[in-house]
Amino acid sequence: MTGAKFADLAIHPLTKRAIAEVLRYETMTIVQQQSLPVALSGVDVLAKAKTGTGKTLSFLIPAIEVALRGSPTPGRIKILCVSPTRELASQIYEEGQMLCKFHAGFRLMVMFGGTSMNKDINALQTSPDLIVATPGRLNDHLQNSGLDVKMKSLRVLVFDEADQLLDMGFRPAITQMLSLLPPKSSRQTLLFSATMPKDVKMIAELGMREDYKFIDTVGTEENTHQHVPQHFLITSKEAQARELLHLVQEGRKAEGYKVVVFFTTARLTQFYSELFMEMGIEVLEIHSRKSQSQRTKVSDKFRDGKNLIMFTSDVSARGMDYPDVSTVIQVTHSLSVSLSHTHTLSLSFSLSFSLSLSRSLSHTHTHTDSGRNAQRQGPIHPPTRAHSTRRQAGLWDTAIVLL
């Protein structure tokens, strides 16, 4: 946090009231302190900031301010926020609802795949001021539901977790979306990303005005995963369930434990959830086979609770904010886990231990700790109690890979 206060911002007093009374925030994070004054000036902003550092308010506050200050445009949408996943879209929508608590008549809407298109169309008839959407569902409505007409007076376009949008293959959808929206010269564009690869910069050039401001709150600092001692357990297919059970049980020894296990597919997530439930170990379950209402309920329960275990598919992790997580386990079928594992560790987790599980014909155990590598043949053992005693001292990460 910084010493900068929300009360000192030149924004609507009812927005300040919501920040103080509903969100209960007084001081800003670094990304908020650096980006809010710039975005509130009306220029386009390209911001590099880690997940979980307060990015959502960094774009919602200036976007809502632009909408409130502008002349009325009945039936037209003023703000569009594009998010990579339904979970993150819902999270942005909920925070937006709190921020607009005292703005009577200011309407928000969220839309994403897996829900009724007709329900979206009916909701659009209420003329929302702000829409949060995932790319696929957004383009469906832009092309087929007349949403492009309602966007004619768009004042602010936001891309959140832009690097994740591109990693998930949404570049064609983003290019198509931009062709269906008003030109960049007529709106303000705010783009936030945890990393800044070439693709993100290309999208910035395509969707933002030339005089956009670049704000870097990360710099050359190492990524989260580079601060976490990491471990790999490589096991046979037959031993995978036993090893996973042992590791989960180890994770449950932490006081107030919160254990997350990531799987590569929804099917695998469902299978292991059912298996562990049959063994009498209660787990929360999130994947694409669950309804959005179920996923939201589980996500909220895990975020707010303690002494919980959650099994989830990798994709649901993108951009999510889960505080006080004590153990993270990633189960995969390939040794090429670096990209997925890196993103998992870059989430807004307060990690103390993480592990990834893999399978190899040679049954090799690879232990990576603070840059030192060692391999040995033989059975695999979970981290010892000596490791567990260091949980409060720093972050831990281990990987289990299945070939």
3-state secondary structure 326-384: CEEEEEECCCCCHHHHHHHHCCEECCCCEEEEECCCCCEEEEEECCEEEEEECCCCCCC
Instruction: Count Cα neighbours of 163 within 13 Å in the Cβ-side half-sphere.
Output: 18
Rounded Cα gap, residues 349 and 303, in angstroms: 10
Is the distance from CB of 84 to CB of 159 less than 8 angstroms? no
Q: Which of 167, 162, 164, 159 is nearest to 184 (CA)?
A: 159
The pLDDT value given to residue 363 = 33
Each residue's pLDDT tens digit in the chain (403 positions)?
A: 889 999 999 999 999 999 999 999 999 999 999 999 999 999 999 999 987 789 999 999 999 999 998 777 778 999 999 999 888 899 999 999 999 999 999 999 999 988 899 999 999 998 899 999 999 999 999 999 999 999 999 999 999 999 889 888 899 999 999 999 999 999 999 999 988 888 999 999 999 999 999 999 987 655 555 555 567 777 878 888 898 999 899 889 989 999 999 888 889 999 999 999 999 999 999 987 887 778 888 988 998 999 999 999 876 555 566 778 888 888 876 554 444 444 444 444 434 444 555 543 333 333 333 333 333 333 333 333 222 222 323 334 444 444 3
Opening angle at CA 343, ends 341 and 347, nearest 5: 115
Is the distance from CB of 214 to CB of 238 less than 8 angstroms? no
Delineate the domains of the chain, giving CATH numbers in brackets. 6-216 (3.40.50.300), 224-401 (3.40.50.300)
Across the beta sheet with 213-216, the strand order is 108-111, 130-133, 79-82, 156-159, 188-193, 45-48, 213-216
The pLDDT value given to residue 358 = 52
The pLDDT value given to residue 370 = 32
268 SS3 class? helix
- pTM score of the predicted model: 0.69
Question: How far, in whole angstroms, is CA 311 from its chain's centroid?
Answer: 16
